[in-house]
């Protein structure tokens, strides 16, 4: 039963990584930018829920809704203020350095407001879960909700991209911004919408992550953000199904690494697997080679 329990926990953790990775892969696929501040948006979302529920004593549902709204607005503001002026920069390093700067800015603002001490996060899932195999296998409510949330988000996002005008505009912008603009598509609005959706997903991921691991600091989003980026690259950055596959694989590898090899070596194992996969398939599991005509 231990193996099955570890597998379920790995899928649950991987589902969180997958939700975060969707934000990375959408922004890169459409805007061709790596938003390394994405992990800290997770932290902002979690602190929003913590403040509303634990400090102000308001209902959890209200806290989640406000957290999603705050992160959505934050994502749009970050794109407009920090990234939009650099969209046509000569060097892509300018955007990368700016993203790192935004990341440190969010962390330090959180340090000033909340301090460095870890806060105890109240789980947003009150359901205790289910017991199987005569009580030998206990699946927590947070685990079940996290896996279901990942599946629902994945399906909804796929339908949105393929069935709506806004989703089709995103596909057009990802193919060719100039041609999309000539066709009457609002490129700036489409990119802003992409950041908004990615940041809203980051808020949901932050709430689920802190519900499973109830400790919150200004650095809570840093390592999950990096691992989610690894998941996006592993699955094939720019591919929505790839983000989900990469996230779940990463979560399972991490949990099995902690359980059967070493808890200290788990992160190293995760990154080692990424290196091996990229050596075999540089574009990731579902990534495609893009040939540019000269």
Model confidence pTM above 0.85: yes
Residue 43 resides in a domain: yes
Rounded Cα distance between 97 and 112, Å, is 23
Q: Is the pLDDT of residue 38 over 80?
A: yes
Q: What is the pLDDT of residue 290?
A: 53
Q: Is the pLDDT of residue 293 over 50?
A: no
Q: Please count the CA atoms within 13 angstroms of the CA of 187 that sit on its side-chain side.
A: 17
If we measure between CA atoms, which residue out of 101, 106, 44, 36 comes closest to residue 69?
44
SS (H, E, C) the chain: CHHHHHHHHHHHHHHHHHHHHHHHHHHHHHHCCCCCCHHHHHHHHHHHHHHHHHHCCCCHHHHHHHHHHHHHHHHHHHHHHHHHHHCCCCCCHHHHHHHHHHHHHHHHHHHHHHCCCCEECCCCCCCCCEEECCCCEEECHHHHHHHHHHHHHHHHHHHHHHHCHHHHHHHHHHHCHHHHHHCCCCHHHHHHHHHHHHHHHHHHHHHHHHHHCCEECCCCCHHHHHHHHHHHHHHCCCCHHHHHHHHHHHHHHHHHHHHHCCCCCHHHHHHHHHHHHHHHCCCCCCCCCCCCCC
**Predicted confidence (pLDDT) per residue in 41-83, tens digit:** 999 999 999 999 888 888 888 999 999 999 999 999 999 998 8
Q: What is the pLDDT of residue 207?
A: 92
**Predicted confidence (pLDDT) per residue in 133-159, tens digit:** 676 788 889 999 999 999 999 999 989
Q: What is the pLDDT of residue 288?
A: 64
User: Mean of the per-residue pLDDT values for the chain?
Assistant: 88
Q: What is the pLDDT of residue 1?
A: 60
Q: Which residues pair with 185 in a beta bridge?
A: none
Residue 291 resides in a domain: no
Q: ∠ CA 52-251-253 to the nearest 5 degrees?
A: 155
By percentage, how much of the chain surpasses pLDDT 70? 96
CA–centroid distance for 147 within its chain:
14
**Predicted confidence (pLDDT) per residue in 173-203, tens digit:** 888 888 888 888 898 899 999 999 999 999 9
Across 13-22, 176-185, 236-245, which has the greatest mean pLDDT? 13-22
Across 1-15, 86-100, 277-291, which has the greatest mean pLDDT? 1-15
Residue 289 resides in a domain: no
Residue 46 resides in a domain: yes
**205: domain range?**
2-280
Q: How far is CA 9 from CA 22, 36, 165, 262, in A?
A: 20, 26, 37, 17
**Predicted confidence (pLDDT) per residue in 243-253, tens digit:** 899 999 999 99
Q: Which of 94-98, 125-129, 198-202 has the weakest average pLDDT?
A: 125-129
CATH number of the domain at 50, please: 1.10.3470
Q: What is the pLDDT of residue 18?
A: 94
Q: What is the pLDDT of residue 291?
A: 52
Q: Compare 107 and 178 and report the one with higher pLDDT.
A: 107
Q: What is the pLDDT of residue 123?
A: 83
Q: What is the pLDDT of residue 195?
A: 92
Could you give the number of structural domains in the chain?
Answer: 1
Residue 7 resides in a domain: yes
Token reading at 117 = 């001490």
CB 40 within 8 A of CB 232: no
Residue 202 resides in a domain: yes
Q: Is the pLDDT of residue 294 over 50?
A: no
If we measure between CA atoms, which residue out of 255, 246, 162, 240 comes closest to residue 201?
240
Rounded Cα distance between 152 and 140, Å, is 19
By percentage, how much of the chain surpasses pLDDT 90? 45
Q: What is the pLDDT of residue 289?
A: 58
Residue 293 resides in a domain: no
**Predicted confidence (pLDDT) per residue in 74-91, tens digit:** 999 999 998 888 877 767
């Amino acid at each position: 039963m231990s193996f099955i329990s570890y597998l379920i926990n790995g899928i649950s953790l991987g589902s969180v990584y997958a939700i975060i990775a969707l934000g990375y892969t959408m922004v890169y696929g459409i805007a061709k930018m790596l938003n390394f501040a994405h992990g800290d948006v997770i932290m902002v979302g979690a602190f929003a829920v913590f403040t509303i529920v634990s400090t102000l004593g308001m209902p959890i549902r209200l806290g989640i809704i406000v957290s999603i709204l705050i992160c959505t607005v934050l994502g749009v503001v970050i794109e407009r203020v920090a990234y939009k002026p650099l969209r046509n920069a000569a060097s892509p390093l300018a955007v990368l350095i700016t993203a790192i700067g935004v990341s440190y800015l969010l962390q330090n603002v959180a340090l000033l407001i909340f301090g460095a001490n870890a806060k105890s996060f109240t789980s947003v899932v009150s359901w205790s879960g289910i017991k199987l195999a005569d009580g030998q296998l206990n699946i927590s409510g947070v685990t079940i909700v996290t896996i279901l949330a990942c599946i629902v988000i994945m399906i909804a996002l796929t339908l949105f991209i393929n069935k709506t005008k806004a989703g089709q505009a995103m596909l057009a912008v990802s193919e060719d911004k100039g041609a999309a603009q000539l066709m009457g598509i609002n490129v700036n609005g489409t990119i802003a919408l992409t950041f908004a959706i990615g940041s809203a997903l980051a808020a949901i991921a932050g709430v689920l992550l802190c519900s499973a691991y109830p400790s919150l600091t200004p650095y809570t989003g840093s390592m999950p953000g990096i691992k989610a980026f690894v998941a996006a690259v592993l699955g094939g950055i720019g591919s929505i199904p790839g983000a989900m596959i990469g996230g779940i694989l990463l979560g399972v590898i991490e949990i099995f690494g902690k359980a059967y090899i070493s808890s200290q070596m788990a992160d190293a194992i995760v990154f080692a697997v990424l290196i091996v996969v990229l050596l075999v398939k540089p574009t990731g599991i579902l990534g495609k080679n893009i040939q540019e005509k000269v």
